Structure 1
């Protein structure tokens, strides 16, 4: 069975950037250090998520599409994506193992959108999900109460209580449209936003709130801006 640590190391060592002859030795050394540092960070997050789900790292490398998925995951780290984005991608990998098997085509349906979210967008998406009335783990009586209010108004109220201006909430929600995780609809003479079927499906295995909590613990000065 392939060793995932070795696979991750091989991906880094064989990167096109590492082999570029147009980079001066000093620059190559700096790039090498950067890639290795980001690869190690990505590995730490992925292994943590796999362990929390009771999976061995080797189970990822053993999957037919596992190497393709890991290669995309590591390249996301090299591109400078935030830890919370890597955390979400690692959760998506673990989620695919939970429901059956790693399939590269299915993983990449979500990967680009997850990698492209800003931290503000992750916060907004997780808040919209929390106020959605039909999440599987919401008790029936609570879901009934939530049906009586708009998830968007509830999200606006929560974000304003955290110090966000109304215009900022609307602007961040508008940026989320490109991810496919949020849908806009006409309401009250303007726009309201809600979670998409794509996001609801993803949220069955990817916990956005948990990703934020885990990464906020490594950012002691982080606050909602």
Structure 2
């Protein structure tokens, strides 16, 4: 990651880290402080890795104020205990938006609020629907439908249909997924908002960065 970009991200992580430590000042909770310090180090490594893979430079972020706002929101997600996969999605979205729009940070803050709280199961669910939607778009007419293409992948990922329905219900709150009626029951497809996010992130890489 370019030096100037790294300094801004590092400063945001340190700043939010100090905010997080403040309530524990009188508790002398070494274990919690150690945990937070470890998480901020991991978060720094994740964003540096995603920026490196994307090949970003300082110029991609257009101005320091937008980068500072984006970095601070990323650091807040770390403080709020977002998992590694969520942090990767946030870093990917930051890069994708900065490359797409000169004024990118407002959309990043919106998408960060959506992506940061997702559970791993919800990320897997959304990722399956995203992949099915893309595959369906690439197929010739008559298209089978994204929901039909996703059925076997959802069954393989979650097995029990009740569990799939429960995860689907939780995923609806993100706005990335919408429910429709089909074949006498509810089916789930990616939403227009989900399609916009799809063009910014790589769910497979977020879930399996070592691959």
Same fold (TM over 0.5): yes
Aligned partner of 2:26 in structure 1 is 24
Alpha-carbon distance in structure 2 between the residues aligned to 1:11 and 1:19:
16
Return the alpha-carbon distance in structure 1 between the equivalents of residues 43 and 61 of structure 2.
14
Report the alpha carbon displacement of residue 125 of structure 1 after superposing the two structures with TM: 0.8
Aligned-residue Cα RMSD (Å) equals: 2.7
| TM-score under structure 2 length normalisation | 0.85
* Pairwise CA distance, 1:34: 2.7
1:155 alignment partner, one of 147, 150, 153:
150
Q: Does 1:144 align with 2:147?
A: no
Deviations 1:145-195 (A, max 9, x none): 6x2x23223212222234521111122111110000000112222211110
**Deviation (angstroms), 1:210:** 2.4
Give the gaps of 5 or more residues in structure 2: none
Matched-pair contact (CA < 8 Å) for 1:69–1:107: yes
Larger helix share, 1 or 2: 2
Alignment of 1:1-225 (within 5 A): 3-14=4-15, 15-20=18-23, 23-24=25-26, 26-27=28-29, 29-56=30-57, 60=61, 62-101=63-102, 103-132=104-133, 139=138, 142-144=139-141, 147=143, 149-162=144-157, 164-214=159-209, 217=210
Q: Contact 1:8–1:39 (CA<8 Å) still a contact in 2? A: no
Q: Report deviation, 1:76.
A: 0.6
SS class of match (1:144): coil
Q: What is the Cα deviation at residue 41 of structure 1?
A: 1.0
Aligned residues: 208
- CA gap 1:191/1:35 in 2 versus in 1, 3 angstroms: same
Which ranges in structure 1 are unaligned for 5 or more consecutive residues?
219-225
Using the size of structure 1 for normalisation, the TM-score is: 0.80
- Aligned residue for 1:183, secondary structure, equals strand
